[in-house]
Amino acid sequence: MERPPETRPTTAATGSSAERSLRLLAALASAGRALSLADLATHLGLPKATAHRLCAQLLESGFLAREIDERFFVAGPALRQLALDTLNHDSVRGLRHVVLAELVAQIGETCNFTTLDGASVLYLDRVEAPWPWRLTLDVGVHVPLHCTASGKLFLALMPREQREALLAHLPLQRLTANTLTSRKALRAECEQIAERGCSVDREEFILGLIAVAVPVLDPQGRARAAIAVHAPSARLTLDAALKKLAALREAAVKMSALL
SS3 state of residue 76: coil
pLDDT, the chain, mean: 87
Instruction: Kindly give the parts of the chain with pLDDT less than 50.
Output: 1-14
Contacts of 27 (CB under 8 A, 6+ apart): 35, 40, 43, 44
36 vs 163: CA distance, rounded Å: 18
| Integer Cα distance of 93 and 164 in angstroms | 32
Q: What span, in angstroms and rounded, lies between the C-alpha atoms of 164 and 223?
A: 17
Compute φ and ψ for 141, nearest 5 degrees. -75, 145
Whole-angstrom CA distances from 23 to 28, 49, 58 are 9, 16, 12
Question: What pLDDT does 10 receive?
Answer: 41
Q: What is the pLDDT of residue 87?
A: 62
Fold of domain 5-76:
Arc Repressor Mutant, subunit A (1.10.10)
Task: Identify the pLDDT of residue 205.
Answer: 96
Q: What pLDDT sits at residue 156?
A: 97
- Tell me the domain boundaries of the chain: 5-76, 88-256
H or E element at residue 6: none
pTM for the predicted model, two decimal places: 0.71
Tell me if 58 sits within 8 A of 29, measured CB to CB.
Answer: no
Please report the pLDDT score of residue 104 as a whole number. Answer: 97
**88-256: CATH topology:** Beta-Lactamase (3.30.450)
